[in-house]
Structure 1
Amino acid sequence: MPGPKDLDPSSSPRALLGAELRHAREKSGLSQEELGARLFVSGSFIGQLESGTRRMQPEYARLLDDVLDTEDFFRRNCTASAKSKYPEHFAQAAEAEGTAREIKEYASMLIPGLLQTPAYARAVCRAYQPTAPDDAIEELVTARMERARMLADPTGPVLWAVVDESALRRSTGGPGVMAEALRHLAHLMRENRVIVQVLPFEAGAHPAMQGCVKLMDFADAPSLVYLEGVGTGRVDDDPATVGRYRFYYELLMVAALSTTKSLSLIEKLAQNYAHGDHP
């Protein structure tokens, strides 16, 4: 009897690999918890592999082949599912947000990627990689804009962002770029597509001062938190960890300006930048 075929990388390989994993697990008579125990991971981790919200790493592919008696199927197809147009440290988070039902994000020093304009994204990417070729920068910008297209879909995820005031006052790309970026942000808010609150300087110390936090909730998978630093990031599904950062985010929401006051401030700063002033 022929074995399973290689997955087609052009057909959402991660989703297909997850479906094959679910089929193999059920064929073996194992629950997600039982299979997770054999891999020394949680049942929710297996669920995220099956739903395609978590990338399958080579070490787990080898274990799955051994436990599920699938010869080398997962090992052969793991590479295809791991291909990504995003930086390695961010790839898993970027792909997970595409299937999220709700996203909550705190940004400390820049406008969140899903809310950026091309010119703003280009300035950010160039700052990260000052010696990179222009075509490499454009690839990053294109990938970021493709992510942002989810906001054009009325059935897409609910996005709630708390943006630090410093991100609005830091002239990224110059006054013209900032004016456009803030007008775009205000437009999304006025169209009721996103919820944005500004965390003002006067809020003082807060629990997310050391980095950015992204919480993602899904319809059919456990919640994730993504923590990011300079050139590094990690996704965590531990319920206690997710719960702790959810509490931190709630504290940020309470300390931030209301959506009405946030919109007024954003539009005022956009006007200042448009007049060539640095607010």
Structure 2
Amino acid sequence: MEGARHMGTAWSGRLPDCSWLRFFGEELRTVREQLGLTLREVAAGTTYSFQQISNVEAARRTPSQALARELDRTLGTGDRFQRILTRVLADTFPTWFTSMADEEAQATQIRIWEPRIIPGLFQTEDYTRQRLRWANPHLSSDELDEAVAARAARRHILTRDQPPYIWLILDESVLLRPIGGPTVMTRQLHHLTQAAETPHLTLQIVPLTATPHPGLDGPLTIWTYPDRPDIAYIDHPHTPHLIETPHDVSDTTLTHNLLAATALDPTTSLDHIHTLTKTTYGA
């Protein structure tokens, strides 16, 4: 930004006394105030809106890599915010999920079967908030804001230059489970169908009338890479774990293939979601 003095790369990587997401916002506020800039002035030096910058500073949104680069350029901070963002993204998920998030970010193709909820990659903020509030009733407002923003960070893979190709199969019960009520679900289903109209997502629905199938054992995900064998994850109630042996990955792939054969075709699936949205949620 014109007139902003160079702040250098003084951040040394010290551990914050709060989450890395909140630390990012505090560092943004500190640098901004040192330069005598308002939020609107910072936003004017980027391609982002005042509200987006404000939400990042308040730790209500996880910043993107593009935003971190623009903040460093605008504020003259070298690579400070880009370096902090690597910690934010590493701190985004619970310990048990870190390896899954890493696989997700590296994959060129992702196959998903989900019989319970809309997968995190395709959740709206309101849907995520309602689901987390239900699953974690003891979270404070600040903790809930941070959790929602952290999970939103996963979605950056959908907007990168080369997003992964995703083949998503959902059980119809996911669409009927009214998390957050009719308004939240209507927006969620609209968001899902919009995503399915892009060339990087194939969406299929397994109707409730389908005969028993192997997907009844629980959710699964398969990641495909350009330079190494596939890895899978199964989320069975008592044995959630990553699968790396070729035989077991092959079995998981077969399950996904059988589910695809059981499901409605993509066009019929989208029509079904549109109809269900109107008849179930009145929109």
TM-score range, shorter chain: 0.5 to 0.7
- Equivalent position to 1:227, from 234, 251, 254: 234
- The one-letter code matched in structure 2 to 1:238 is T
Structure 1 CA distance, aligned partners of 2:199 and 2:277? 19
* 1:259 correspondence with 2:266: yes
SS in 2 for 1:98: helix
- Corresponding position of 1:128: 135
Give the superposition deviation at 1:220.
1.6
Structure 1 residue 129: Cα displacement: 0.9
Quickly say closer, same or farther: Cα 1:98–1:83, change in 2 above 3 A: closer
Distance 1:93 1:9 in 2: 26
CA distance in 2, matches of 1:271, 1:223: 39
Q: Which of 98, 105, 119 is matched with 1:112 structurally?
A: 119
Partners of 2:92 and 2:153 within 8 A in 1: no
Q: Helix, strand or coil: the match of 2:106? A: coil
Alpha-carbon displacement from aligned partner over 1:164-188 (angstroms, at most 9, x marks no partner)? 0000011011000000000001101
Give the direction of change, closer, same or farther, for the CA distance of 1:219–1:152 in structure 2 (3 Å limit): same
Give 2:70's aligned residue.
Answer: none
Q: Does 1:174 align with 2:174?
A: no
Give the AA of the match of 2:213.
Answer: H
Q: CA RMSD in A?
A: 2.4
User: Secondary structure, in 3 states, of the residue corresponding to 1:254?
Assistant: helix
Residue 92 (structure 2) pairs with residue 85 (structure 1): yes
Q: Which of 89-98 and 162-171 deviates more?
A: 89-98
User: How many pairs does the alignment contain?
Assistant: 200
Say which is worse superposed, 208-217 or 125-134, in terms of deviation.
125-134
Indicate the residue corresponding to 1:139 in structure 2.
146
Contact 2:164 2:200 in 1 (8 A): no
Residue 221 of structure 1 and its aligned partner are, at CA, apart by 2.1
Percent identity over paired residues: 30
Q: Is the 8 A contact 2:90 2:98 kept in 1?
A: no
In structure 1, distance between residues paired with 2:278 and 2:209: 22
Query: Structure 1 246/254 Cα, relative in aligned 2: closer, same or farther at 3 Å?
Result: same
CA contact (8 A) 2:204 2:260 kept: yes
Q: Which residue matches 2:252? A: 245
Greater mean deviation of Cα atoms: 92-101 or 136-145: 136-145
How far residue 273 of structure 1 moved from its aligned partner, in angstroms, is 5.0
Q: Is the 8 A contact 1:125 1:137 kept in 2?
A: yes
Residue type matched to 2:260 in 1?
M
Structure 1 pair 239–204 and aligned structure 2 pair: CA distance change class (3 A): same
Which residue of 1 is the match for residue 195 of structure 2? 188
Give 1:156 deviation, angstroms: 0.9
Residue type at the aligned position of 2:120: G
Aligned partners of 2:238 and 2:148: how far apart in 1?
16
CA gap of 1:231–1:181, structure 2 versus 1, over 3 A, is: farther
2:224 paired residue among 217, 223, 246: 217
- Tell me the amino acid that sits aligned with residue 172 of structure 2: E
In the TM superposition, what is the alpha-carbon distance from 1:139 to its structure 2 partner? 2.0
- Segments of 5+ residues of structure 2 without an aligned counterpart are 1-12, 16-86
Per the alignment, residue 32 of structure 1 pairs with: none
1:202: how far off? 1.3
**Contact 1:179–1:269 (Cα < 8 Å) also in 2:** no
Shift of 1:267: 1.4
Q: How far 1:232 moved relative to its partner?
A: 7.2
CA-CA distance at 1:245 after TM superposition: 0.4
**Is 1:103 aligned to residue 106 of structure 2?**
no
Asked whether the 8 Å contact 1:104–1:161 carries over to 2, the reply is yes
How far, CA to CA, are the matches of 2:262 and 2:120 in structure 1?
23
2:73 equivalent in structure 1: none
The offset of 1:274, in angstroms, is: 4.8
